[in-house]
Structure 1
Amino acid sequence: MIEPKAFVEKAVAKLRSVEGRAVAAVSGGIDSTTAAILAYRALRERLTPVMIDTGFMRKGEVNSVSTALRPLIPIRVIDARKDFISQLYGKSDAEEKRKTFRELFYRKLGEVVKEVGATHLVQGTIAADWVETAGGIKTQHNVLLQLGLDPKELYGFSVVEPLVELYKDEVRAVARYLGVPEELVRRQPFPGPGLLVRVLGTISEEKLELCREANYLTENYLADLNFSQYFAVVFEAEGELRDGVKFYRVRATGVKGDNRVYGKIVSIGWNHKDLESVRQLVMKLSAGDVTHVMIKVAEGKGKYAIGIRAVTTDDFMTADFAKIPEERLMELGEALASIPQVGEVLYDVTSKPPATIELE
C-alpha cells in the first residue's frame, strides 16, 4: 500500500514538468477525478478539465458530477451525445462497441486539445485498466500506450497517466489525502463507455433508456449496503430452457486463466436457503462456455431481462458476488419488474473469475 503524502508530492512534481497546456479527461469517477486534481495542483491555469457527455451517462449524472467537481476544479462539459449515439446505435459486439467508443472519445478530446492549444492529455488510467486490456480480457477505453498505440500520431496529444501503477483502494487513499469529499471518494465505479457496456448486445434507444432507469433504481435500493460495486444490465429475455437452466442468446465477457472468453449467460431457479448449492451449480456451469450465472428473482410482462450485479472486492482484479439480503433483493426485483418493458429480473451470482464484473 502506498503512502498518500509521498505519492502526491512525487506525482505533482512530475506533473509540473509537463510543458505548455494540458487537458484532463474527467468522468466523475474517482480515478479521473483524482488524476485531474493532481494535475490541477501542478498546472493550475495551464489545465483544462473537461467532461464529455457521451449520452451513455447515468440518470442526472452530468449535472450532479459537474456541480460536485466545480469547487475542486474548473470543469467544462462538452455535449457530444449526437456524435456517440449516431455511431454506436445498432452495434452489438462487446469489443466492437468498446473500440468504437474509444476512437470517438479520443477524437473528441483531440478536438478540445487543439481548441485550447494543449499538447498533453491527463487521464485516470489505473493498473486494473491496462492489466485487463493488455491481457486481452476486455478493451478499456482509456488504454493506449500499453497497447503500443501512439496518441500523438493518432489524436495529436501525448498522454499523462499519474495513477497508472495504482489500484482502486490506493486511488481512494490518495483522493482522501487530497481532500476529495467522501461522496465522490465512495461514488460507484462507472466504466468509461458508461451504459454502452451495460446494454448487452445491440444498442437501441429503448434499451438505453431502460438501462438508465434500471441503474438508477438499483443504486438507490442498494446504496446503504456498502458493496464495492452494484449496477444493472439490460438484454433481450429470449432464450432456450434445458434441464431447468435457461440459456440466453446474448453473450457476456468472462475470464478464464489469463484469457478473455465471450460466453453464455444462463439463469436458474432461486434457492436462497442453500447458497452453497447455487455456488456448486455455478462452478459446474461455468466449467463450459458459460461466463455468467444468474438466479431469477421477479417476473414482468415485457421482453427484456434486467440483470442485477453486485460484488465485493479489494482491488477489482478478483471479486465475489455480494450476498444481498433476501427481502431487499425481492423488493428491488419487484420494483424493476414493474417497468412495462421488463419481462424478468435476475441476480448475477458469478464471481470474478470466471465472470468479469462488468458484463461487456
Structure 2
Amino acid sequence: MEKIVILDFGSQYTQLIARRVRELNVYCEIHPHNKPPEIDKTVKGVILSGSPFSVRDEKSPKPDLSIYRKKLPLLGVCFGAQYLASSNGGEVLPSSTREYGRANLSFVDNTHPLMKGVSDNSQVWMSHGDTIKKLPENTKIFASTADVEIAGYEFENEDTYAIQFHPEVYHSKDGGTMLKNFIVGVCKCAQDWTPNSFVEETVEGLKEKIGNDKVVLGLSGGVDSTVAAVLLHKAIGKNLYCIFVDNGLLRKNEFESVLKQYEHLGLNVKGVDAKNKFYSALEGEKDPEKKRKAIGKVFIDVFDEESHLIEDVKWLAQGTIYPDVIESVSATGGPSQTIKSHHNVGGLPDYMKLQIVEPLRLLFKDEVRRVGRSMGLNEELLGRHPFPGPGLAIRILGDITAEKVRILQEVDYIFIEGLKKSNLYDEVWQAGAILLPVQSVGVMGDERTYEQAVALRAVESTDGMTADWCHLPYEFLAKTSNEIINKVKGVNRVVYDISSKPPATIEWE
C-alpha cells in the first residue's frame, strides 16, 4: 500500500495535513521528526509539518533529511519550509510583524507543478513569527504575498518544495489544489485507498493475524466499536465475543437500546451490569486524568473477568481510532503536546494475558463512518454523535455520584431528543451536556433555589481535531433551557458553550 509520510514537528495542524491527504484517497502516516521512517517502495513522498518552535531556537527540531532529499518528493510547510532554508545556507529572521491569519498571493507562477490551477490573488493562511529573508543557492521562488516575498520556493533539479503558509487549513482557498498537485502530480500516488479497499485489506490482515483464536471486544454502542466489531466478524465469525458494559455513565436508557440495536447485526453480544464497580472506583475522585485511569482499570478488570468465562480467549479488540492515539501519545511519540489520555489507548496490565487488536487505529472518525457505510451498516447507527469512552464521568466536573449521573442523564436526554425533534441532530457533529461544579441562585414560584448549573455543548467538525461551536437557533436554546429547568430536579441554570477547538477542547475534561 503506497503512502505519504508526514514528519511531525509539533504543529497543531499536523493532523489536518493527514486529513487532507486522505481526502484524496491516499494513505498517509504521521511520524515524529526524531524517528523518521526508513524509505521503502511504499513511500511515495514526504511532508514536513509546521511547528511551535522557531528554527532559530537551539532546541528546535533538526532532523537529518538526507535520507529523503533527491530520493523522494519533499514538501516543507511553514516551519518545514524555514528549516529547509536555514539548514541549507539560507537565512531565517524574526518577522518585523508576526504573520498570523489571512493573506493573499500577489505572485503565482501558474506553470509550477505545485501551483497549477491556483488562482491569482488566492487567499492563504499564515501562522509564523519568523520569515525567510535569504534563500539557499539553486532555489527559485514560485509564490509571494505582499508582505512575504518568499511564500513558496523550490530547490532546482530536485522535487523539493517549500511554502511558508498552511495549505491544509480551510482558509487557504486553493490549499487542497496545491496538496493534490504535490501528492498526485509530483508523487504520482494512485488514489486507490478507498473504504472498500480498506475493508478488504483489513479483513485479510485480521484473518492472518488472528487465525482461529478467540477475540473479546468491548462494545460501547458507538460508531467506532460497532464498525470494529463488524470488521472482526467478517474475518473470524463466531470466534468474536462482544461485551457491552453498563458502567453507570451511559446516556439515559442507552444500555437497553444499544443491546436491541445489535440484535440484527448477528453479533454475539453479552450485556454486563457493572455500575457499582465503576461508582466505587470513582468515589471522591475529582481529577480528570485519575477519573479516566480509574475507569480504564475497571474496564480492564471487567474484561479480564468476563474473558475468563470464555475458553481460550487470546485477544482483546478495541475501537481505538487515530485521534485517540494522537491525543494520547503526542502524535505517535512526537513533540505535539499531549491533551488527554484515553482509557482504551496504551496497552494492558501484565496480569491480563490478552493481545490487543485495533482494526481502526489509523482511521479518522469520518473515515470510520465511510467504512461502515461500505459494509452496509444503517445510517442511524453511523450518524450517532461521538460519545467519550469514559462516558458522563468527564462531563460531570468534579467527583461522581449516582445522583449527579441521574441529573446529567436527564439533561442530556432532553437536549439530544430536542435536537432530533427539531431536525438539528444531523447538522451537529457532537453534542452533550456538562454538569458544572457550581450552584447558583434561582427563583421557582415564590421560593429561592440554590441548585446546579449545566452547560450545553454542540460543535461542528469532521474528525474532532478541530471544531467550531454550532450556531443553534435561539428559539431552540430557549425552549431547551426552559424544559431542562422545569423537568430536571436539581438544575436551575443553563448556559451554552461557544468555545471552538482550538483553543478549547470539545469535552471539558
TM-score (norm: length of structure 1): 0.79
How far residue 75 of structure 1 moved from its aligned partner, in angstroms, is 1.2
How far residue 61 of structure 1 moved from its aligned partner, in angstroms, is 0.4
Structure 2 match to 1:97:
291
How far residue 237 of structure 1 moved from its aligned partner, in angstroms, is 2.4
* Pair 1:228 & 2:429 matched: yes
Structure 2 match to 1:335:
483
Structure 2 match to 1:80:
274
Identical positions, percent: 38
* Pair 1:188 & 2:188 matched: no
How far residue 236 of structure 1 moved from its aligned partner, in angstroms, is 2.7
Which AA in structure 2 matches 1:13?
Answer: E
* Pair 1:7 & 2:198 matched: yes
More helix by share: 1
Which AA in structure 2 matches 1:70?
Answer: E
How far residue 155 of structure 1 moved from its aligned partner, in angstroms, is 2.1
Which AA in structure 2 matches 1:9?
Answer: E
Q: Choose 1 or 2 for highest CA Rg.
A: 2
Provide the rounded CA distance (Å) in 2 between the counterparts of 1:345 and 1:325. 15
* Pair 1:139 & 2:341 matched: yes
Ranges in structure 2 where 5+ consecutive residues have no aligned partner? 1-22, 24-192, 331-337, 441-447
Match of 1:237, SS state, is strand
Structure 1 match to 2:404:
207
Which AA in structure 2 matches 1:207?
Answer: K
* Pair 1:320 & 2:502 matched: no
Tell me the alpha carbon deviations over residues 240-271 of structure 1, each in whole angstroms, 9 at most, x when there is no partner.
xxxxxxxxxxxxxxxxxxxxxxxxxxxxxxxx
Q: 1:307, 1:348 within 8 Å by CA — same for their partners in 2?
A: yes
Match of 2:502, SS state, is coil
Tell me the alpha carbon deviations over residues 203-249 of structure 1, each in whole angstroms, 9 at most, x when there is no partner.
1222111011011011011222121011101123248xxxxxxxxxx
- Matching residue within 225, 228, 243 for 1:32: 225
Structure 2 match to 1:169:
366
Provide the rounded CA distance (Å) in 1 between the counterparts of 2:239 and 2:341. 31
Q: 2:439, 2:450 within 8 Å by CA — same for their partners in 1?
A: no
- Matching residue within 345, 351, 360 for 2:494: 345
Provide the rounded CA distance (Å) in 1 between the counterparts of 2:276 and 2:392. 15
Alignment of 1:196-345 (within 5 A): 196-223=393-420, 224-225=423-424, 226-238=427-439, 301-338=449-486, 339-345=488-494
Structure 2 match to 1:289:
none
Aligned length: 295
Match of 1:121, SS state, is strand
How far residue 337 of structure 1 moved from its aligned partner, in angstroms, is 1.8
Tell me the alpha carbon deviations over residues 141-187 of structure 1, each in whole angstroms, 9 at most, x when there is no partner.
1101xxxx4x2624221110010010000000001111111110001
Provide the rounded CA distance (Å) in 2 between the counterparts of 1:302 and 1:120. 50
Provide the rounded CA distance (Å) in 2 between the counterparts of 1:153 and 1:14. 26
How far residue 316 of structure 1 moved from its aligned partner, in angstroms, is 0.5
Provide the rounded CA distance (Å) in 1 between the counterparts of 2:449 and 2:415. 19
Provide the rounded CA distance (Å) in 2 between the counterparts of 1:16 and 1:25. 19
* Pair 1:111 & 2:111 matched: no
Which AA in structure 1 matches 2:273?
Answer: D
How far residue 106 of structure 1 moved from its aligned partner, in angstroms, is 1.1
Match of 2:459, SS state, is strand
* Pair 1:156 & 2:335 matched: no
How far residue 113 of structure 1 moved from its aligned partner, in angstroms, is 2.1
* Pair 1:354 & 2:497 matched: no
Match of 1:76, SS state, is strand
Ranges in structure 1 where 5+ consecutive residues have no aligned partner? 240-299
Alignment of 1:45-64 (within 5 A): 45-64=238-257
Q: 1:222, 1:230 within 8 Å by CA — same for their partners in 2?
A: no
Q: 1:236, 1:303 within 8 Å by CA — same for their partners in 2?
A: no
Match of 1:236, SS state, is strand
TM-score (norm: length of structure 2): 0.56
Which AA in structure 2 matches 1:46?
Answer: N
Provide the rounded CA distance (Å) in 2 between the counterparts of 1:309 and 1:351. 10
Which AA in structure 1 matches 2:469?
Answer: F
Provide the rounded CA distance (Å) in 1 between the counterparts of 2:450 and 2:241. 45
Q: 2:282, 2:399 within 8 Å by CA — same for their partners in 1?
A: no
Q: 1:237, 1:343 within 8 Å by CA — same for their partners in 2?
A: no
Provide the rounded CA distance (Å) in 2 between the counterparts of 1:41 and 1:15. 9
Provide the rounded CA distance (Å) in 2 between the counterparts of 1:317 and 1:155. 32
How far residue 21 of structure 1 moved from its aligned partner, in angstroms, is 0.7
Structure having greater relative contact order (Cα 8 Å, sep ≥ 6): 1
Which AA in structure 2 matches 1:75?
Answer: V
Which AA in structure 2 matches 1:343?
Answer: N
Match of 2:398, SS state, is coil
Provide the rounded CA distance (Å) in 2 between the counterparts of 1:70 and 1:302. 45
How far residue 302 of structure 1 moved from its aligned partner, in angstroms, is 4.2
Provide the rounded CA distance (Å) in 2 between the counterparts of 1:70 and 1:122. 20
Alignment RMSD, CA only? 1.5
